[in-house]
Amino acid sequence: MSDAPESPAAPEPVTMRLMALADIHRVREWRNLPEISAYMYTDHEIFDNEHARWFGNAINDPSRRYWIIELEGVPVGLANLYDISAAHRRAYWAFYLASPEVRGRGVGSYAERFVIRYTFEDLALEKLCCEVLATNAAVVKMHQRYGFQVDGTLRQHVVKSGERVDVVTLSLLREDWASGRWSDRG
CATH number at residue 78: 3.40.630.30
In a domain, 164, yes or no: no
Looking at the chain, the whole-number percentage of residues with pLDDT higher than 90 is 83
pLDDT tens for 101-130 read: 898 889 999 999 999 999 999 999 999 999
In a domain, 157, yes or no: no
In a domain, 167, yes or no: no
What are the backbone dihedrals phi and psi of residue 51, each rounded to the nearest 5 degrees, phi first? -65, -40
What pTM does this model have? 0.88
DSSP code at position 122: I
- The pLDDT value given to residue 9: 46
Residue pair 12/60 in contact (Cβ under 8 Å)? The answer is no
Residue pair 158/134 in contact (Cβ under 8 Å)? The answer is no
- The pLDDT value given to residue 117: 96
In a domain, 186, yes or no: no
In a domain, 117, yes or no: yes
The residue type of 50 is E
Alpha-carbon span 103 to 138, nearest angstrom: 12
In a domain, 179, yes or no: no
Range of the domain at 94: 14-129
Q: How far is CA 5 from the centre of its chain?
A: 18
pLDDT tens for 59-93 read: 999 999 999 999 999 999 999 999 999 999 999 99
Alpha-carbon span 28 to 157, nearest angstrom: 24
In a domain, 33, yes or no: yes
Burial zone of 98 (CB within 10 Å; 0-12 exposed, 13-18 middle, 19+ buried):
buried
Domain tally, the chain? 1
In a domain, 49, yes or no: yes
| 107: number of Cβ within 10 Å | 22
